[in-house]
A and B are shown apart, each in its own frame.
Chain A
Amino acid sequence: MNRRNNDELRVIATEHAPDDANQVADFTPGLIDVGEHHLCPGCGEPIAIRAVMDAIALLGLADTCIAVFGIGCSTAFSNNLDVEVLQALHGRAPSVATGVARVHPGLAVFTIQGDGDMANEGLQEVLHAAARGENIVCIMLNNGVFGETGGHLTVTTTIGQRTKNTLDGRTAAEHGHPMRIAELLAQIDGVGYVARGAVNDAGNVARTKRMVVEAFTAQQAGLGLSFVEILTMCPTGWFVPTDEAPDYLASTLAGTHGVGVLRSALEPA
């Protein structure tokens, strides 16, 4: 390496990249307008949303996609994306996306819902959309609680998990059993791709982004409904310290909702 002598050292202005700079990486979140958000510290949803938007950017779908958002914490992003967004009501995104996709069959239409939205309020919507073979991508951000209301039981809450209405932990006898949504969808004819990812560590974030890429790839190939469930941290709703939330996800949520690809109609790469 050539070392310049002191006379050649110069101060480089950092307000703008120098004209001769060669950018090798862009850390600006792709297709997300404003990087800062008002969700709780330690929330996993911004990471999951970024994984989805990065996948869309990677596949070059920014101007041929339409996002349909549900209602929940993730709604914080429905007015913060540089892709077209249609806001749906709580529970209704898969039907709304069906209407969009039938009018514009060539587009990459996708939904973003939480577990309360998709699995509690509107479970039959995604099941029927899957069975109809609607060519859309459905993303479920699963933190096992109603985050926006402050941490209440959903159908994906794990046995033993404390929520505001299961203060001593969920028991099957009192509160019923958790449902595994990805497994439920994987058995339906009309589904092209089903996977469950997580954003509790860098490896899982990378794997999750790959799952989302595969889901959109299946959608683009017309293989029917693609589903990616993403386990996300909710330290506020779990009543755990922020820095313990990733491990809590691995030990609690992922213990019931196992990470992996459950079904794929894509040709092996």
Chain B
Amino acid sequence: MTTRLVEGSAVVAEAMVRAGCRFFAGYPMTPFTEVLEHMAESLPRVDGVCINAESELEAVGMVWGAAAAGARAATGSTGQGLSLMQESIAEAAMAGIGFVVLNMARGQGDYFQATRGGGHGDYRTPVLAPSGPAEVTELVADAFELAERWRNPVVVVGDYYMAHTWVDLDVAAAVPDPPPAPDWALDGSSGGTGSAKLVSPLGTTKQRDGVGYDLAAHYDHCAQRRQAMTEGIAPRAECLHTDDADVVLVAYGTMARYAEAVVTACRTEGLRLGLVRPITLWPYPSEIVAEACAETKVVAVYENNAGQMIDDVNLALLGAAPVVGINGFRTDSSAFGIAPDVTVENLTASVQALFEQYG
């Protein structure tokens, strides 16, 4: 094993190349920018293509085309840029075109954007949330598998901390070849055969079949596929010391790593604190959260925003335990989500107050 010290963004890029991503398009925006830089450097080495698109609209359009042409493809951005991509992400789900979207958020104010999406129509996107660079490789690979399996965009959520945390990366292992293109992908060869392929968000029945586009039938089909996807993806979460916990924290992403440190600190002092860390933000691990919190006195949701995931925790618990949000932390003047209040000490103090309140 040969390791190199790299920033988290390089780990994300390396994970995508190893997962078979051979087409990437993006528009610079912090902290997505560094991923784009690393992809621009990495992809040509494996005969892949990285395009510095002229807008996020164009980036996601390019990825739409590359994915339909059979490549493992990805794009991404940060809040505003992802807002611009929502139309294409929503319609790609209707067209059955799968690709990976990196939501390299700043803080955690884009939880709703990631998990609900801002697009139109009756669609959902699976969302995976690594807690740091160490988990990125596995979850990025999972994201491409899900995108291909369900022919649906899949979101991977990162943040400013994850993008800029420097870690050791194993650079010795050979890069595997990408998998072959799926059967439905376009390569031109079915033209002139009497049954040329069609990939469209409006349906796949052709006029020669006496049907043409039948939106009602197509949307029914999309709804069935969405239902199968919902049931077919096992929700994932990691539980820490929840068996005997009086207080359970729920946190995802980088914030969960702070929460882990708080659990260790509280346990040292004899305070029975547990942690549930959702890994799939959609489908949300509601049953795991409910089970982990079944005996607890209070559930504390720790997120670097004014309270978004707390809605999902409430839906998971349905009133079985009181749920309070530990959030509202200030962000610094950069607005990059580098919340100066996000410290193990501050979080520990908040948790200790809960122990006193709920005894």
Contact = CB atoms under 8 A, between A and B. Distances in A.
Given A66-B69, A84-B188, A95-B57, A102 B64 contact: no
B87 A89 contact: yes
Contact of B69 (A63, A92, A95, A99): A99
Contacts of B61: 88-89, 92, 94-96, 98-99, 125
Interface residues of A, number: 42
B186 interface: yes
A43 to B, nearest CB: 16
B88 interface: yes
B68 A125 contact: no
B188 to A, nearest CB: 5
B65 A86 contact: yes
Given A64-B188, A82-B191, A99 B208 contact: no
A99 B73 contact: yes
A47 interface: no
A84 B186 contact: yes
A107 B207 contact: no
Contact of B51 (A100, A102, A104): A102
Contacts, number: 163
A33 B208 contact: yes
* Interface SS of chain A: mixed
A99 B198 contact: no
Contacts of A97: 65
Nearest to A75: B202
Chain B, interface size category, equals 35 or more
B119 to A, nearest CB: 11
B201 interface: yes
A101 B64 CA distance: 12
B66 A103 contact: yes
B213 A65 contact: no
B88 A79 contact: no
Contact of B188 (A65, A80, A122): A65
Contacts of B67: 99
Interface in B171-215: 186-203, 205-208, 212-213
A96 B88 CA distance: 11
B70 interface: yes
Interface in A67-126: 68, 75, 78-89, 91-92, 94-104, 107-108, 122, 124-125
A62 interface: yes
Contacts of A101: 65
B51 A86 contact: no
A87 B201 contact: yes
A65 B186 CA distance: 10
Given A66-B69, A96-B61, A104-B188, 16 more contacts: A31-B192, A62-B191, A78-B198, A80-B208, A82-B195, A86-B200, A87-B200, A87-B201, A88-B65, A89-B91, A98-B61, A99-B62, A99-B63, A99-B67, A102-B66, A103-B69
27 contacts: A31-B191, A33-B206, A34-B207, A62-B192, A65-B188, A79-B207, A80-B208, A81-B196, A82-B191, A82-B195, A84-B188, A84-B190, A84-B196, A86-B186, A86-B199, A89-B88, A95-B65, A96-B62, A98-B51, A98-B65, A99-B61, A99-B73, A100-B65, A100-B66, A102-B66, A107-B187, A108-B188
Interface of B: 22-23, 25, 49, 51, 53-55, 57-59, 61-71, 73, 87-88, 91, 95, 186-203, 205-208, 212-213
Interface of A: 31, 33-34, 62-66, 68, 75, 78-89, 91-92, 94-104, 107-108, 122, 124-125, 128, 132
Nearest 6 A-B pairs (CB), nearest first? A99-B65, A95-B61, A87-B200, A62-B192, A99-B66, A103-B69
